[in-house]
Amino acid sequence: MKHPLNTDSLVIANQLKWPIVNEMRARIVEAAAAEGMGDLRSVAVEFHRQRQRAATDRELDAIDAGIGVAIEAVLGKPIGIDVDPITGEEEPLFESRKVKQAQRFAKMVAGEATAFDELHSQYMGQLQVKPRTKADDERAIKLLKRWCDENNVEPFLQSFPTKKAAVRFVDDLQGLEPKLSPVTLNKYINRLSRFWQWLEKREEVPIDVWRGLALVPPPVAHDEKERPFTDEEMVKLLKGDTTQAMHDLMRIAALTGCRLDPIVCLRVKDCREDGVFVFKPQKKEKAERLCPIHPDLMEIVERRTKDKKPDDPFFPEWPGPQKVETKRERSFKTSNQFTAYARSIGVREELDGRRRSLINFHSFRRWFITQAERAGQPESIIAAVVGHKRQGMTLGVYSAGPAIEQARACVEAVRLPSLVAENG
């Protein structure tokens, strides 16, 4: 927007500009108010910035006048007259929704109300986590904003100065999402805690109000815990009628103890000539993990790397999602295909009220760990091979990890069930 002041004097221009600037602000605020608090926030932040930079009392008064004009624009036209029962004075009556908007706007201008979104986008931009974890962050903030809206709590950081409001949110969380398990809901509480820790370091909040808060999951009976495959189930899986890619995948999982996604994401160059897989980091791993290639997997590796370029995928059958913005892992469809295959041959253990079968692709990892332990391998070596954190100060902090020969002995101590081994 432009408006000529018709003067060459900067002094006069600075005196003439404020009524016109305030009129322009009113138009901007009217448009922003129609769009909601998201657009009003940027106007409020700009007002706050201008107040902080005001060089003179005259300039500050002009900015405050503009803030008054902006608040009037947010309130809109009166819908009636309100009479004070004590003094009898008449005051204009405005829509309650617009009054609430104007109050929030005034708090944001004063720097007393920082919306969650204002800093959460910055926080998300510096996160170095998997897309699925980022999706948990976004869901957590949406849940918090929804709870604020339903409980008449302003969606500002300043609404959570202590744990009191946070505890109320946690108490209501199961009611907000009755279909989600306490385990899933606790993930959201944990992501809010991480965000608040980031805010605390920047002195945007006094404390992490979510620290130590969690829903108590219902007790799980021993026979309701997820478990390894039995040898009989392994035989059915490894001899079943499925694709060659699925057979190769299952054997690698069984003889490395690796999670699904790092296997599916292998490239040709990740199968090193010295007989080692290089798996991408998972969970809390800070670097790629080396895992010796079991002798029973050599034929698969040779077949899948022959005449291929170093960056070619080891499993081209599962290229991963095509959309760049997706938060799904490359192995998403692989997981679905394995579930359908396992169900088709009856290798499932499903209980009422549980979303996942007690045996699933992760059961290969449990099976490997079980077999390595039964073969007499040290717990610390097994943990290093599968990427678990090793326990204690000595191994968990000071040790650089076992030599590759120790890891190779652990891997080779695990053998597939004999009937499968004989038939390849």
**DSSP for 152-180?**
T--SBGGG-SSHHHHHHHHHHHHHHSTTS
pLDDT confidence band for 116 (50 / 70 / 90)? confident
pLDDT confidence band for 144 (50 / 70 / 90)? very high
Cβ atoms of 9 and 16 closer than 8 Å: no
Mean pLDDT of the chain: 84
Give dist(CA 184, CA 394) in Å, integer. Answer: 33
pLDDT confidence band for 87 (50 / 70 / 90)? confident
Neighbours of 189 (CB within 10 A): 22
What pLDDT is recorded for position 421? 42
Question: Of the candidates 23, 31, 29, which has an alpha carbon nearest to the alpha carbon of residue 46?
Answer: 29
* Percentage, residues of the chain above pLDDT 70: 83
211 or 97: whose pLDDT is higher? 211
Cβ atoms of 131 and 330 closer than 8 Å: no
Backbone φ/ψ region at 400: left (φ over 0), alpha (ψ -120 to 50), beta: alpha
Single-letter amino acid code for the residue at 393: M
pLDDT confidence band for 16 (50 / 70 / 90)? low
What pLDDT is recorded for position 286? 67
Q: Which two tokens stand for residue 303?
A: 């077949």
141 or 130: whose pLDDT is higher? 141
What pLDDT is recorded for position 29? 62
Q: Give the tens place of pLDDT for each residue, 291-347.
A: 999 999 999 999 999 999 999 999 999 987 777 666 678 899 999 999 999 999 999
What pLDDT is recorded for position 323? 72
Chain center to CA of 14: 49
Averaged pLDDT, 260-273? 95
Q: Which two tokens stand for residue 263?
A: 């296997």
What pLDDT is recorded for position 423? 44
Give dist(CA 158, CA 113) in Å, integer. Answer: 6
Cβ atoms of 146 and 69 closer than 8 Å: no
pLDDT confidence band for 352 (50 / 70 / 90)? low
Four-residue CA torsion sign, 85, 87, 92, 95: negative
Which residues have C-beta within 8 Å of that of residue 19, sequence separation ≥ 6?
A: none
Q: Which two tokens stand for residue 408?
A: 């190779």
Averaged pLDDT, 129-145? 91
pLDDT confidence band for 422 (50 / 70 / 90)? very low
Give dist(CA 386, CA 390) in Å, integer. Answer: 11
Neighbours of 42 (CB within 10 A): 13
Whether 360 has a pLDDT exceeding 60, the answer reads: yes
Q: Which of 64-68, 69-73, 121-125 has the highest mean pLDDT?
A: 121-125
What pLDDT is recorded for position 118? 78
- Judging by DSSP bridges, how do beta strands 276-279 and 289-292 pair with one another? antiparallel
161 or 41: whose pLDDT is higher? 161
Whether 152 has a pLDDT exceeding 60, the answer reads: yes
Whether 64 has a pLDDT exceeding 50, the answer reads: yes
Neighbours of 335 (CB within 10 A): 18
